[in-house]
Amino acid sequence: MNRENEAVVQKFYDALATMDIEKFWACQSPDVVYNISGHSPISGQVRGRAAMERDILPQVFGALDAKNFKFCKKLKYFCSDGERVVCLMEADGFGTNGERYDQRYCHLFEVRGGKIVQVWEFFDTMLARRVMFPDPSKDLAPGQSNGFDF
């Protein structure tokens, strides 16, 4: 296990749990790359903090009832080796549409120089669609990709 990289990832989850956006970004490279699974409006590869702030976070945070939602209700480190850390995280609460959003995530992080440089995120895409992205016209078509890569 690589304890230094786990500590960086723990800062990410601590910031997410408290919704401290400044600390959330402090543990990530400005050029961080997110690979988000599925065919939802946020799926695909997103390059850099600016793109995340502009294109992804408003959709995610805008669909969740902030007063009745908690990221990192439960967290487990599965393994870390070299530059990579794998975790399972559970979130729970409600969407702004009143639907329960008890989501489980699998995250694979790549950490270099004390910063998260790449994230792969896997989650229940049907639950996300029902609660966060109910308009199917905004989905990616089957077989279509926004650059998710590994």
For the segment 1-21, the average pLDDT, to the nearest whole number, is 93
Check residue 61 and give its pLDDT: 94
Which residues are CB-contacts of 137 (< 8 A; sequence separation ≥ 6)? none
Residue 98 domain flag = yes
For the segment 11-31, the average pLDDT, to the nearest whole number, is 97
Residue 133 domain flag = yes
Residue 145 domain flag = no
Residue 150 domain flag = no
Check residue 87 and give its pLDDT: 97
Q: Looking at the predicted structure, is the pLDDT value of residue 140 above 70?
A: no
Q: Looking at the predicted structure, is the pLDDT value of residue 1 above 60?
A: no
Which is nearest to 80 in space by CA: 118, 123, 111, 35?
A: 111
Residue 143 domain flag = no
**Is 0.85 surpassed by the pTM of this model?**
yes
Residue 149 domain flag = no
Residue 147 domain flag = no
Q: Higher confidence at residue 118 or residue 136?
A: 118
Q: Higher confidence at residue 19 or residue 148?
A: 19
For residue range 72-130, list pLDDT tens digits in order: 999 999 899 999 999 999 999 999 999 999 999 999 999 999 999 999 999 999 999 99
Domain extent at residue 22: 3-138
| Domain containing residue 89: CATH number | 3.10.450.50
Q: Looking at the predicted structure, is the pLDDT value of residue 17 above 90?
A: yes
- What stretch of H or E contains 38? none
What total of structural domains would you count in the chain? 1
Check residue 135 and give its pLDDT: 85
Residue 114 domain flag = yes
For residue range 25-68, list pLDDT tens digits in order: 999 999 999 999 988 889 999 999 999 999 999 999 999 999 99
